Structure 1
């Protein structure tokens, strides 16, 4: 793997440098895209079926439990889903193609923009150009809430981060950024400080405050994944990574208090259903810790809000205990915007398992093809790509980031990165 668009500099490794295999990383990035697609499409089956407090039309009442897995899917807020009549894993077989969705397509765009612009840090102008080039503006564009508003603001001439500022975008605390920016963590392996720097403007394109901090939590989780201790279980590593990512959430924020509440429920021995129900009661019914979206959002009681969906994501992360199938199941059944938390953790666990690990977990082979043009436009080959090619492009981005942002080096002969280790601190967001 040699990037023709990068001049590789000579580098003398230091004894303290972390050494990572580029080939192994490519396999893990393949696992990320595969795991994210499996989780995303499985979550789409139950997306917005259950939101706790029903809408004015009486839709979305109650919640699923583990007993509903394998049973008929119930209607969502807009009617029935077009994917499956049964609540179960949804796969693309070897002879088919995975379709892009809003959990994968913006990350695909950001990866392409980083590579095409030969940079590790995107500018607001580059983000705006990428969105206007690759997102439809007239017909169905697969954008909602804050992403949709940001696109309209870009069309009016605004440039990120102004597109996510509260005075311009009233949806700044919706879910959008936490499902479109996690991938930046993988582009700065083992260096969450640099990953946060890379992700800052893409996140602030659509988010502020709690939505921003939650997105940064996910970025830190992804950046910490290459530091996982192979002598420990995935569960142990996940719990350690989550403790580190928690440092990014300001202690007085409702996002931090949601995390702490769910973690306390998990440690108490409560079932995941009990934890989810308690989360709903505390934050949507009683509206504690300043969480007011259940009444501020009259359309669906905050069903798209960053906060409650983050709480649900932590339920699936902790109770899934590193098992990709169990994590996806819980995420899909937990409620609200259920494809998004599943995609986030399906992608993370897919990375930690790698391609073969994901296949072993599900005891089957999958398609390696990806159609970005299901939701986006303007890419080569009529939008058909492969996970292998997408992973290779990710490696090339890391090549540049290692040299230009981390101060490390790439050894093409040994096929490794040398990543300097520093005494960085994960500071609370501001």
Structure 2
């Protein structure tokens, strides 16, 4: 498998290019966010006084930086969820839905799906850069963390958008060809998803010789969005493109990002202006292009015409700065320096060599190795990241070091009195020893588990095989439910070992059947 080396000097330049490009694009597009129609923007339209505009696209990633500085490679959706509740202030759209679910005890990935009309919107793909920057030239790593990030407040297309850009941006540290980078990004998401369809739509329009204005019209007809009407009066909404379902915005806006990039034909300013002039989520589309081009060319490639008016500062919009617990970078330089210091411990010594002259070097993948691929588990099984995506929003993982567990809710966590609710428990061995696993349920008074509250099973482990076991349980609530929320616990114990795995299940009482289309995908 081919690898190439990224020097510290190259890495620092690409990091600064990423975040400066992000700041520039976000500042350019911010005044036109959530507006529909063709715009005529060629440069900043606001008075900047040497500083950028604040933007949630960058804000949230500064909080994630703090989480990784504390928890390193162990950071996951649950940790990021706690950071959401502690340090992210907005309650709009998918942000508010995810936070509201977690306050009720509904954990990721359920938190990104349940009662979330904006689960397919743009709030996840705008924060892909931090994972790409921490895993340069290693998209197989970047997508793992982008997934953990996205499922807190998104599902489906909203998750695919962040995965696509995290893979692409990570690969951009090692590859500069636009077509190859798009192909790499697409390899990590389902071929038949709408994010992939929107990307292909933009590319096809360009290859057929359509103008970018015509490409936008085609895209908005094939993948209708509603984001561009959010800040407009009804009578001012153009009628030349359809209005899509509320919250179904990621495909169209990912497509607009690709339109800006390909039609800009390598020109930084032209690319971010075309994306902005397409309307919709303008700060997000332009900022994402800016970060991609900044990674590819490094800080040296960004014209001073664009960087000088905003300087090096970072301005925040939606971070809780009043409570202790985070240190927010004040400049692009500080952000870059902190990532540079963090990366060796995050990637580990097998990827990052700290014993070289002039700092450290990072071993990156190259060529076909940058794409999503099958990974050998053992002599009988291979897997890929796409299998993880295919699990959907109802499978909740738990890692207990010597074994890993997954709870498959099968549907949203709504219950009714005396009505059976089925869940699946899957346990996988994480060590090369056989284990006996004892299962013990803790349920509210009057509830029952039909298969029995106590059981045991053997986890095999032989000739490097990964032993696993799947059980199905039927939970029957009591005849009278007086509370709105019920907490159950599954206790997993490995015989002869100190590990006890406690798995919480939160179920929500709904006295009436949920509306059609809500209970399941």
TM-score by length of 1: 0.75
Residue 219 (structure 1) aligned to one of 148, 166, 171: 166
Contact 1:101 1:375 in 2 (8 A): no
Q: Distance in 1 between matches of 2:343 and 2:204?
A: 36
Match of 2:249 in 1: 305
Contact 2:33 2:283 in 1 (8 A): yes
Correspondence list, 1:56-71, <5 A = 63-65=37-39, 68-69=40-41
SS of match in other structure, 1:185: helix
Q: Distance in 2 between matches of 1:124 and 1:284?
A: 30
Residue 204 (structure 1) aligned to one of 137, 143, 151: 151
Contact 2:122 2:253 in 1 (8 A): yes
Matched, 1:426 2:372: yes
Structure 1 residue 91 displacement after superposition: 7.4
Contact 2:132 2:166 in 1 (8 A): yes
Structure 1 residue 347 displacement after superposition: 1.4
From the superposition, tell whether residues 337 and 208 of structure 1 become closer, same or farther in structure 2 (CA, over 3 Å).
Answer: same
Match of 1:239 in 2: 179
From the superposition, tell whether residues 375 and 126 of structure 1 become closer, same or farther in structure 2 (CA, over 3 Å).
Answer: closer
Match of 1:129 in 2: 82
Q: Distance in 2 between matches of 1:174 and 1:221?
A: 19
Structure 1 residue 154 displacement after superposition: 2.6
The structure richer in strand per residue is 2
Residue 296 (structure 1) aligned to one of 245, 248, 252: 245
The structure richer in helix per residue is 1
State the structure with bigger RCO (CA 8 A, min sep 6), 1 or 2. Answer: 1
Q: Distance in 1 between matches of 2:2 and 2:165?
A: 27
Match of 2:433 in 1: none
Contact 2:187 2:371 in 1 (8 A): no
Q: Distance in 2 between matches of 1:305 and 1:367?
A: 31
SS of match in other structure, 1:336: coil
From the superposition, tell whether residues 408 and 350 of structure 1 become closer, same or farther in structure 2 (CA, over 3 Å).
Answer: closer
Structure 1 residue 144 displacement after superposition: 2.7
**How many residue pairs were aligned?**
357
Q: Distance in 1 between matches of 2:317 and 2:94?
A: 22
Q: Distance in 2 between matches of 1:187 and 1:257?
A: 28
SS of match in other structure, 2:361: strand
Match of 1:88 in 2: 44
From the superposition, tell whether residues 228 and 243 of structure 1 become closer, same or farther in structure 2 (CA, over 3 Å).
Answer: same
From the superposition, tell whether residues 17 and 415 of structure 1 become closer, same or farther in structure 2 (CA, over 3 Å).
Answer: farther
TM-score by length of 2: 0.63
Match of 1:76 in 2: none
Matched, 1:111 2:65: yes
From the superposition, tell whether residues 356 and 182 of structure 1 become closer, same or farther in structure 2 (CA, over 3 Å).
Answer: closer
Ranges in structure 1 where 5+ consecutive residues have no aligned partner: 1-14, 51-62, 71-86, 230-236, 286-292
Matched, 1:315 2:259: yes
Residue 33 (structure 2) aligned to one of 35, 47, 52: 47
Ranges in structure 2 where 5+ consecutive residues have no aligned partner: 226-241, 374-385, 391-521
